[in-house]
Amino acid sequence: MPVDATPDPYADPIAFGQRLQILRTRRGMTRDQLGGLMGRSGSWVKGIETGRRGIPRLEVVLRLAEVLRVRDLADLTGDQSVRVDLFVGPGHPRLGAVRAAVDAFPVAGQDEAAPTVEHLAARLARAWSARHTSPHHRDVVGALLPDLIRDAQAAVRQADTAADRRAAQARLSEVYSLSQFFVAYQPDSALLWRVAERSMVAAQESEDPHTIGVAAWLAAQAHRDSGPAHFDAADEVTAAALSYLAPLLPDAGDEVLAIAGALTHEAGYTAARRGETGTAWRYWDEARAMAERLPESYFHPVTSFSRAIMGAHAVTIAVELHAGGESVRQAAAADASTIPSRPRRARHRIEEARGYQLDGQPDVALATLAQAHEAAPETIRYNGYAKRIVLEEAEAKSPERRRRASALAVKLGLLAA
């Protein structure tokens, strides 16, 4: 191994502190940054990494895994006998077929007649509807994607005019956007980036403002979820998209206004991840003003942006700022029943559970996670925040809480039945 290469935590048995340092460095975090996100100091992190401090308690280890977005808990603990997927779930049975469709390299002239752009648009509308209404949305979308990807690619190749090609590129970008929802949290980060980049390229070729905004929204999320070293990239994508959309907003239709609102909230989300309280809430206020311009019943099919979602967004901002009391206050003000999307409602419940956990209400957090599971089992199964709370409470002193957490852990596949 070259002397300047990053050590491989699996090459030799190494101490917990060394693993922590490797994973922190790979995320592009300083000790002070990690300490701040943990509510501790950089010297506390240094003490663990150098071995001056012992291995922390389970709840601290799980919190470190959450902050570092560790794919597998064993990456941090070194215990290969207990493997727990956190922010990357088990590979979905339909992942292989979706990957094959994305990676295929068809040549013009070799395909059958492509469907019309209108036909693709109708299929995409049904696919988004199925994603929002099914508790097993990943399975439903995974079944639809391979044919959608192949047909949308064919539509671009067979377009006769420049206008037809732009319209087909818009639909292809949307297919890739739908694919990104499926590929997220799967054990193939390279595939996620291929999908995100192809969505952006197709969107730019389409020259359609709404399509470009959606691709930028998803690209910003991919950057942000890659860790603090990528926050600047997330901000740059969001800022560029908002600058492009800004001249259109005075006369914008609902779709363009909604994607601008979603991007504005996205900027606030990243600011909250940075710990920038004032900036995060300023962006949330701006996004809420955009939401108020939308019809009361409007719900964006990709981002879920709407009037109804702003309460959920407020909970997320408060949670990311690690403000337990404010998280609970915002959760009490939000109305989850108005969110029509099952996976988005489940995600909101998970964010509420994080808030209750921060506020020292673990029993309420577990009850809220149970509601998330009821809304969309496939959402909570792939969510590292939910898994961290469940695993932590499975070790609680309260026998009743341990029982409830263990029962939920079995449903999530974290514990054997």
Judge whether residue 5 has pLDDT over 60: no
Distances (CA, A) of 266 to 136, 140, 155, 231, 239: 26, 27, 32, 11, 10
pLDDT (tens digit, 9 = 90+) per residue, 123-144?
Answer: 999 999 999 999 999 999 999 9
| Sequence spans of domains, the chain | 16-77, 91-207
* pLDDT given at position 346: 96
15 secondary structure, DSSP code: -
Answer with the residue of higher pLDDT: 234 or 86: 234
* pLDDT given at position 87: 63
pLDDT (tens digit, 9 = 90+) per residue, 311-335?
Answer: 999 999 999 999 999 999 999 999 8
Banded model confidence at residue 246, pLDDT cuts 50, 70, 90: very high
Banded model confidence at residue 298, pLDDT cuts 50, 70, 90: very high
* pLDDT given at position 116: 95
Judge whether residue 8 has pLDDT over 70: no
Answer with the residue of higher pLDDT: 331 or 65: 331
d(CA 58, CA 392): 7
Domain 16-77 sits in CATH 1.10.260.40: yes
Task: Give the pLDDT mean for 389-394.
Answer: 89
Minimum mean pLDDT among 48-52, 148-152, 254-258: which range?
A: 48-52
Taking a C-beta distance cutoff of 8 angstroms, is the pair 254, 55 a contact? no
d(CA 385, CA 369): 10
